[in-house]
Amino acid sequence: MKEDDVTPLMDGYRECARHVWNCYFSKDAEPEQDWNLRDDLNTIAVGLFRSLVLRKLGREHVDVLPDHVIAREPLLFLRLDAPVGSVLHVNRSTDMTSGYWDDPVNRVEPDALDLRFLQYFDWWSLGCQDFAYYRVRIVASRPHPHLISRDALLPVGQGVKVLYNDVG
């Protein structure tokens, strides 16, 4: 199965969404603790993602909704390839609201985990954002089957690639 490296495409979307949030939303959202502004940005970000990524991949029909509407499902056609030894923050449960990212399995081994893109992630939703992590869903793991269906955080950059296949 052929996979194309779409990391630069994803980086462009990431930078656009970060810029919109940091320049126009965060200055009001954080001091006022205005979670509605965060939700407004999530809605805008879905539109940006559809235009800047999905359309270019011929996937504009894919149903992606803002997080405040429904929990995201992984985009199975976007696989993350992390270098061996990459640090991974694995959620301790499959409960999507759990804020604990401390499962003991935290180093990527060769071909040990199949990671699929959910969204970009930052620790604080109302202040300036860097979208420093990919939030991914672990969809397969031979050595660690207990991790399947859990979400994990993988740092952006550091040799991580986003790969696209038109089959998924």
As for how many domains the chain has, the answer is: 1
pLDDT, tens digit only, all 168 positions of the chain = 678 999 999 999 999 999 999 999 999 998 989 999 999 999 999 999 999 999 999 999 998 887 777 778 999 999 999 988 888 899 987 766 667 888 877 677 877 899 999 999 999 889 899 999 999 999 999 888 989 999 999 999 989 999 999 875
The CA radius of gyration of the chain, in Å to the nearest whole number, is 16
pLDDT for residue 77 = 97
With beta carbons less than 8 A apart as the criterion, state whether 139 and 158 touch. no
pLDDT for residue 114 = 94
pLDDT for residue 1 = 60
pLDDT for residue 98 = 66
> Whole-angstrom Cα distance, residue 16 to residue 86?
26
Query: What's the farthest any 2 CA atoms get from each other in the chain?
Result: 49
With beta carbons less than 8 A apart as the criterion, state whether 37 and 25 touch. yes
With beta carbons less than 8 A apart as the criterion, state whether 140 and 80 touch. no
pLDDT for residue 96 = 62
pLDDT for residue 16 = 97
With beta carbons less than 8 A apart as the criterion, state whether 4 and 168 touch. no
pLDDT for residue 46 = 94
> Whole-angstrom Cα distance, residue 38 to residue 40?
5
pLDDT for residue 92 = 84
Stated pTM of the model: 0.91
Domain that holds residue 91: 4-164
Indicate the helix (H) or strand (E) that contains 48: helix 35-49
pLDDT for residue 103 = 81
